[in-house]
Amino acid sequence: MNVVIIGNGISGVTAARFIRKLSDHQITIISSETAHFYSRTALMYIYMGHMRYEDTKPYEDWFWDKNRINLVYAHVEKVHFNEKKLILSSGNDMNYDKLIIATGSKSNKFGWPGQDLEGVRGLYSKQDLDYMEAHSKGLKRAVIVGGGLIGIEMAEMFASRNIPVTMLVREQNYWDNVLPPEESKMISKHILDHHIDLRLGVNLESIKDNGNGVACGVKIKETGEEIPCQYVGLTAGVSPSIDFLKDSELNTNRGVIVNEYLATNIPDVYAIGDCSEHSNPAPGRRPIEAIWYTGRMMGETLAHNICGNKIPYNPGIWFNSAKFFDIEYQVYGDVLAKPPENHASLFWMHEDGTKSIRIVYDKNSEEIIGFNLFGIRYRHEVCEKWIREKTLLSDVLQNLSLANFDPEFYDAYEKEVLALYKKQTGKQIELRGKRNFNRVLKFLKN
Amino acid sequence: MHILQKIGLAILIAAIGLFILSLGLNSYQLQEETLYTESDFHKAELLKAAENQGILNETYGNNISFIKAIKSLCKEAQKSLEAQAANGIPEGVGEWDYKLGDWKIKDYVFQTTKASGVGFVSRNTLTLLYTIFGLGIFGALLYIIPLFQKLPGIKNDGIYHSSMTRGLTLNWRTFFLITTTIGLLLYGVMYMGSQVFWPLVTLAVIGLIVYLVYFREKQKDKIPPKSASPDVTAWFGIITGILLIGFYILLYWKPEYITNWIVLVDPVSEKLSGNPASNWFLYGFLYTIIVIVMGIRMIAKYRHNKYQIFRTFSVMFFQTAFAFLIPEILVRLNQPWYDFKNIWPLNYNFFFDYNLDTLTSSGSMGLFMLFWGIILILIGVPVITYFFGKRWYCSWVCGCGGLAETMGDPYRQLSDKSLRAWKYERYIIHGVLVFAVIMTLLVLYSYFTGNKNILFMNSDTVRTWYGFLIGSAFAGVVGTGFYPLMGNRTWCRFGCPLAAYLGLVQKFKSRFRITTNGGQCISCGNCSTYCEMGIDVRWYAQRGQDIVRSSCVGCGVCSAVCPRGVLRLENGTVDMDNRAEETRVIHISEDEVSLIQ
């Protein structure tokens, strides 16, 4: 069987790798972005000089040959679903038996005047990075529109080269549509500590043209203020990159509509990763999740389905991570910015304002629901097991050392979290043991 | 860059420039009392030759012409003594005490040159000592202290934009590797007195390893990723590398040309041990200063990370106390010079006859040192490595590791992470271990039986070649000289026989491993990039597999630079024998998503 995958991001590549593990099918990956798979999440580190493009490739170039995965560096112009045929930019055709669409996202543009000027761009692809690099010379100021994960990465990128940055954020605090208020405020302050000109609660009105089709400033809607700049980063989210499929018999909405087996309305055509939109997402999950981890899980699930093991996509317990300048962020389970009525949380914050732990539990049953961690590392498997088994808050707190994943010799804050709980509830519970890897393993194997 | 940093850097470069310049800032005059010899008939013969050649009390403006003159004296005396020896050697004098051997000439030239300085450097030693090292340390600290003002966190900004740290293109790296290897082998032929046997054997072994890697391991067609961006190379890095390589060549094999430097540290040596300085004292002095100053930089850079801080203090302490001060103080107390943390086979001359004789004839202290050294080899290494992995030594105690983790930190990203490099690494480092063991067995066999020839091998020749090839060329010239070319752990990764021994224990019987955090890896590659041992950490992290690699020195930097909190250094017994088997990343099974497969 001939499996063709459009897109060489984490979803497509994971699908290819697992199809190879499970079968002898012919596998082809087509991409017009880069010749080889690289880690999109590491784009910022190339710009900052932490890594070279070569270092962002998770596999050496010979890997693909060795695993009999054909790589085609070309753009897919059109898909003829009836003939099971792709038209490539080179003019060549390519036939498939099974087609996997894993084309990822593109940066959102909301019709701002001047959004297509020179010096205005999002950050998603290698091309975007190259564009940003080419426009970085002599920059006196960059303005970033949007306060999500890519926005803050872009701010860090420019700051690493001492380029002044203004960030326009629609929310009242950084990412407060996702983060609870305390964490959101903490990150907002951290952004300011890094000398970023963070403007909260403002929207972009327009981008100014210098007369030659090049951006030279932005205007803020709320205040009318004009900020001169030579680069505008558009980071107000991403949406599925499926323009080339729009006028076809493929069922699309914002993304390519798929069922729980990641199949589209057309037989033998599947979609995974950022570009897929789930018609029936799991409770509490969004139809489109443009996340590295879910892309990877979809890729693996689809490989099973294509190779004859019919398995519905189940993303399991939510987890994610990020890094905001110097503060690492991990989340396990449900920690919501606007929690439902039954959610309660124990929130501890370090006095230095760069570390916090939030443990969310059910107010009535005291069952554990989620963890939100800033500047502190917790062990994924331990948190997941507690959440899955609906462990009681007091149990979790007594065994909190099991979750601690900070490097050796770091201060441990389990006692302080516990003390906070005792103070708030008046209950008397004690910490059971210190951080110890043997205990963790025994706990996980139980 | 902070203005203070710029000033500091300028001062540091000026101090280094003055240090290099001082090599040419002296003049030399041979006098009867500066002519160094170990016997009266050598002295008489050399003075006779000096008069013949009219050298005595002649002033030379530079050491090159002076050394040439002294060498020609020695040659004349050597010939004359050779001729006289043919007519009979005086009663009670050994043949080689009477004749003037080549190795003695080397020492005479060095000591005489050192003693004969009369110019600017010899007249101003203290001023120069304070100026060069005072300014150098001050400049370096001025550069380093502002780093403490930055917000704590991983700051690797611009490393691949810097001409100092971005590394070489593959072609340039290949060029340096090949020319250095060939150059060292050719020099080795000279060093061995024109014996070509061992240099040829070495060449054959190198050829065999290349063959094995290319064909048996099928690496020929696996093009490794480029060493640096395709068309840029680190020119400052290359200059630094060449300076370091030159320094090591002079230090090991031509110390007579750096006597001006050694004269500078004479006052320090006399304060510590009561003896004048040797080239080794100079080396220890520089080494310690660099480890301390660059250790402060390391602490500034990782001051949010207690593991890195403790570890850096540890290597600074062991270098200063164990490698530098304690041995000198022992000498002052009439005890043997001994570095209590240096372990065979890194300390390859531990079992040499002269060391065994010294230790066994130095009373209870000497015997304790002998006992301590053997206990470390047989019990210390396996037991401590069982508990903590090889990191207890390589990145907490060892001097080579100490230098790599401090001065070498800016270059850690230059290690080659390709599979091909790993294949090379395994053949070469275990090859060196085998060489060290064979050499030591031969030396011990000769020591106990008095027989120096075993099969086709002469234990003296083998140990001389080992000392040249591994002890000096690999560990020093390549080991440190290649910091800016191939990363800071080139020696530790490819050459150190003790690292190989520790690594075997770590791989097969140790509680140590690096664990990965479930499914959190985003394959960004920071861990692999900053692994100084060239381990492709990401390969394991993205599949959620614990990292059990014999080469891992447990520096903890992969864990520090990970932006998602995925890696942690752990010791555990529960799963000790199948540490590397399990994968923890999320996997899809027919029933459900499971974290543990």
Residues of B in contact with A411 (CB under 8 A): 306
Question: Is residue B298 in some structural domain?
Answer: no
Check residue B233 and give its pLDDT. Answer: 80
Question: Is residue B457 in some structural domain?
Answer: yes
- B342 & B406 share domain: yes
- B357 & B439 share domain: yes
Residues of A in contact with B299 (CB under 8 A): none
Chain B interface mutation, best of A47, A380, A383, A443, highest count of B Cβ atoms under 10 Å: A380
Q: Does B525 touch chain A (CB under 8 A)?
A: yes
Q: What is the dihedral of CA A238, A244, A249, A254, to 10 degrees?
A: 10
Residues of B in contact with A57 (CB under 8 A): 225, 525
- B423 & B552 share domain: no
Closest approach of chain A CAs to the CA of B521, in angstroms? 8
Other beta carbons less than 10 A from residue A21's beta carbon? 11
Question: Is residue B51 in some structural domain?
Answer: yes
Which chain B residues in 222-251 lie under 8 Å from chain A, judged by CB atoms? 222-226, 228-229
Helix, strand and coil percent figures for chain B, each rounded to 5? 65, 5, 30
* B267 preceded by a cis bond (ω within 30 of 0): no
Question: Is residue B466 in some structural domain?
Answer: yes
B151 and A437 in contact by Cβ < 8 A? no
Which residues of chain A fall below pLDDT 70?
none
Burial-class residue B43 by CB neighbours within 10 Å (0-12, 13-18, 19+).
middle
Domain end residue (candidates: B457, B478, B510): B510
Tokens at A351, concatenated = 């006095």
**What is the pLDDT of chain B when averaged over all its residues?**
94
- A332 & A434 share domain: yes
Question: Is residue B286 in some structural domain?
Answer: no
* Residue among A54, A160, A311 minimizing CB distance to B157: A160
- A38 & A133 share domain: no
A314 and B592 in contact by Cβ < 8 A? yes
Which chain B residues in 307-326 lie under 8 Å from chain A, judged by CB atoms? 307, 310
- A181 & A81 share domain: no
Nearest CA in chain A to B305: A410
**Burial track A345-360 (b if 16+ CB lie within 10 A, e otherwise):** bbbbbbeeebbbbbbb
Q: Give the CATH number, domain containing residue B561.
A: 3.30.70.20
- B530 & B400 share domain: no
Residues of B in contact with A384 (CB under 8 A): 518, 595
Query: What pLDDT, in 10s, does the model give residues B533-563?
Result: 999 999 999 999 999 999 999 999 999 999 9
CA atoms B98, B103, B107, B113: torsion sign: positive
Check residue B596 and give its pLDDT. Answer: 42
Chain B interface mutation, best of A321, A378, A384, A406, highest count of B Cβ atoms under 10 Å: A321
Residues of A in contact with B564 (CB under 8 A): 321-323, 328, 330
Closest approach of chain B CAs to the CA of A170, in angstroms? 26
Cα B28 to Cα A195: distance, rounded to the nearest angstrom? 59
A407 and B221 in contact by Cβ < 8 A? no
Nearest CA in chain B to A445: B596
Domain containing A33 equals 2-106+239-306
* Residue among A54, A193, A444 minimizing CB distance to B226: A54
Cα B597 to Cα B588: distance, rounded to the nearest angstrom? 8
Domain end residue (candidates: B463, B479, B510): B510
The percentage of residues in chain B with a pLDDT greater than 90, rounded to a whole number, is 86
- Order of all β-strands in the sheet with A269-271: A69-73, A26-31, A2-6, A98-101, A269-271
Residue B590 scores a pLDDT above 80: no
Closest approach of chain B CAs to the CA of A241, in angstroms? 21
- B249 & B389 share domain: yes
Q: Give the CATH number, domain containing residue A89.
A: 3.50.50.60
Asked if residues B527 and B537 have their Cβ atoms less than 8 Å apart, the reply is: yes
Residue for token digits 């139809």?
A: A287
Question: Is residue B324 in some structural domain?
Answer: no
Q: Does B563 touch chain A (CB under 8 A)?
A: yes
Residues of A in contact with B226 (CB under 8 A): 52, 54
Question: Is residue A359 in some structural domain?
Answer: yes
Residue B594 scores a pLDDT above 60: no
* Residue among A309, A408, A411 minimizing CB distance to B590: A309
- A230 & A144 share domain: yes
- B497 & B542 share domain: no
Tokens at B254, concatenated = 């031509």
Q: What is the dihedral of CA B186, B190, B196, B198, to 10 degrees?
A: -80
Q: Work out how many domains chain A is built from and give that number.
A: 3
Query: What pLDDT, in 10s, does the model give residues A318-339?
Result: 999 999 999 999 999 999 999 9
Query: Among A64, A221, A47, A13, which residue's Cα sits nearest to residue A134?
Result: A47
- A144 & A164 share domain: yes
Query: What pLDDT, in 10s, does the model give residues B234-285?
Result: 899 999 999 999 999 999 999 999 999 999 999 999 999 999 999 999 999 9
- B483 & B345 share domain: yes
Q: Work out how many domains chain B is built from and give that number.
A: 3
| ipTM, interface predicted TM-score of the complex | 0.96
Residue B593 scores a pLDDT above 60: no
Residue B227 scores a pLDDT above 80: no
Nearest CA in chain B to A64: B222
Domain end residue (candidates: A306, A341, A365): A306
Q: Compute and round to an integer the Cα radius of gyration of chain A.
A: 24
Nearest CA in chain B to A54: B225
Residues of A in contact with B388 (CB under 8 A): none
Domain end residue (candidates: B510, B539, B560): B510
B596 and A381 in contact by Cβ < 8 A? yes
Question: Is residue B124 in some structural domain?
Answer: no
Domain end residue (candidates: A236, A252, A286): A236
Residues of B in contact with A60 (CB under 8 A): 222, 224-225, 418-419
Question: Is residue A77 in some structural domain?
Answer: yes
Residues of A in contact with B520 (CB under 8 A): 293, 319, 321, 330, 380
**Burial track A266-301 (b if 16+ CB lie within 10 A, e otherwise):** bebbbbbbbbbbbeeeeeeeeebbbbbbbbbbbbbb
- A54 & A80 share domain: yes
Residue B429 scores a pLDDT above 50: yes
Q: Which helix (H) or strand (E) holds A143?
A: strand A142-145
- B428 & B385 share domain: yes
Q: Compute and round to an integer the Cα radius of gyration of chain B.
A: 26
- A95 & A80 share domain: yes
Residue for token digits 């916090």?
A: A356
Question: Is residue B322 in some structural domain?
Answer: no
Residues in chain A: 446
- B586 & B503 share domain: no
A380 and B518 in contact by Cβ < 8 A? yes
- B534 & B459 share domain: no
Residue B589 scores a pLDDT above 80: no
Question: Is residue A112 in some structural domain?
Answer: no
Q: Does B187 touch chain A (CB under 8 A)?
A: no
Check residue B597 and give its pLDDT. Answer: 37
A61 and B520 in contact by Cβ < 8 A? no
Task: Please enumerate in sequence order all residues whose Cβ is within 8 A of that of A356, keeping only pairs 6 or more positions apart, or say none.
Answer: A182, A183, A186, A347, A348, A349, A350, A372, A373, A374, A375, A376
- A436 & A323 share domain: yes
Nearest CA in chain B to A298: B588
Question: Is residue A223 in some structural domain?
Answer: yes
- B86 & B196 share domain: no
- A21 & A34 share domain: yes
Q: How many CB pairs under 8 A join A and B?
A: 179
Tokens at A336, concatenated = 């919501």
- B501 & B553 share domain: no
Domain containing B198 equals 158-253+335-510
Q: Give the CATH number, domain containing residue A351.
A: 3.30.390
Burial-class residue B206 by CB neighbours within 10 Å (0-12, 13-18, 19+).
middle
Query: What pLDDT, in 10s, does the model give residues B363-387?
Result: 999 999 999 999 999 999 999 999 9
Q: Does B575 touch chain A (CB under 8 A)?
A: yes
Residues of A in contact with B229 (CB under 8 A): 52-54
- A231 & A245 share domain: no
A49 and B224 in contact by Cβ < 8 A? no
